[in-house]
Amino acid sequence: MIDRTVKDSRLLVGMDTCDDAGVYLLNGATALVQTLDVITPVVDDPADFGFIAAINALSDIYAMGGTPLTALSLLAFDPCDLPHEAAQEIMVGAVEALSSNNCSLIGGHTLEDPEIKFGLAVTGIVNAGSVVTNSDARAGDMIYITKPLGTGIVSTAVKGEVAPEDLLDKSTGWMKTSNRDASTAMLQSGVTSATDVTGFGLLGHLFEMCRGSALGAVLDLNSVPLMAGIDELARMGFIPEGAYNNRKYLENVIDPGEISDDLLLPLFDPQTSGGLLVAIPPEKADLFEFTFSEADVFFARIGLFTEPPVAIKIVSSF
């Protein structure tokens, strides 16, 4: 691999562990957390799209246990295709999402492009002693996820014009849900390692945690939360291409046992603005569940980290 960073002892998290954000020590106690995320439209409403893109970009800061401070936006669009008002709506949605997370938009850039893209670079701070990486899980840690899966499948069904209205609303609602409260709650309950679930799907991001931590994992299929109606759309074949790519990429590290292929597909579904994937020591599980319940944040316990080899075994009940 190309070494893309200068040797700098202040660089606490660089590119080598495929983490959610880079972390750079500013002084004894405070470090910068920086990330960038750009997405193509996942919903028709421009304001919702801007809102979701911002929540999605903020998520990497929250996955590291950080607090976002400022953001820069990047909007690519074709002015002949997208009316000026729609471009403005995207920005309005983004600013609304950032403000509700105490993050200020301080600049940005637009450019012409035949395909609409919108994203943000977000800068935050984190206490240098409590950075949460994706590579510090320990064997025996419980695995929790903080949003149900299915946003990629819903977007695909929307394109096929078969997504039920209420499922579309649910999916949009989840994508607009900030991971801030989940981040606060995991920090209060002894998290050892975390990431957020985005384009590589649940299994792709779990595998990154396994590889970074040099551990295996066992996942209980029946405990993995799907939005209601997702399994049916998956059975009907509304699976985004990204899910198949993720499955191909992971084929040598997933042991599905007797479980049939179609049941596994939602676990590869690329998520936009997905939940956090959190490793919690078993003795902290009660505290974690209590803290999340008190904070009214969704969670599901879906498996546990195991000794090497670095691979994921899927079972249909513990």
Smallest distance, Co ion to C-beta of residue 79, A: 28
The residues pairing with 25 across neighbouring beta strands, listed in sequence order, are: 31
89 binds Co ion (CB under 5 A): no
- Which positions ≥6 away from 8 have C-beta within 8 Å? none
196 binds Co ion (CB under 5 A): yes
37 binds Co ion (CB under 5 A): yes
**Identified binder of Co ion from the candidate list 20, 48, 89, 141, rule CB under 5 A:** 20
Cβ closer to Co ion: 148 or 229? Answer: 148
With tokens 């779990």, the residue in question is 206
Smallest distance, Co ion to C-beta of residue 174, A: 16
208 binds Co ion (CB under 5 A): no
Smallest distance, Co ion to C-beta of residue 279, A: 15
Cβ closer to Co ion: 120 or 221? Answer: 120
- Which positions ≥6 away from 201 have C-beta within 8 Å? 149, 152, 242, 243, 246, 267, 268, 269, 270, 271
Distances (CA, A) of 54 to 48, 118, 185: 10, 9, 21
Q: End-to-end alpha-carbon separation of the chain, Å?
A: 39
Site for Co ion in 156-175 (CB under 5 A): none
Q: Tell me 269's DSSP state.
A: P
Cβ closer to Co ion: 20 or 269? Answer: 20
Cβ closer to Co ion: 20 or 89? Answer: 20
Part of the chain binding Co ion (CB under 5 A), chosen from 45-53, 194-202, 267-275, 280-288: 194-202
- Which positions ≥6 away from 101 have C-beta within 8 Å? 55, 58, 68, 178, 180
19 binds Co ion (CB under 5 A): no
| Contact in structure between 220 and 302 (CB atoms under 8 Å) | yes
141 binds Co ion (CB under 5 A): no
Per-residue interface string for the shown chain with Co ion, residues 44-83, x marking contact by CB under 5 A: ----------------x-----------------------
What are φ and ψ of residue 263, in 5° steps?
Answer: -70, -25
Smallest distance, Co ion to C-beta of residue 202, A: 13
* Region for residue 140 given its phi and psi (left: phi exceeds 0; alpha: psi -120 to 50; beta: otherwise): left
Smallest distance, Co ion to C-beta of residue 81, A: 27
Smallest distance, Co ion to C-beta of residue 52, A: 13
Q: Which residues bind Co ion (CB under 5 A)?
A: 20, 37, 60, 196
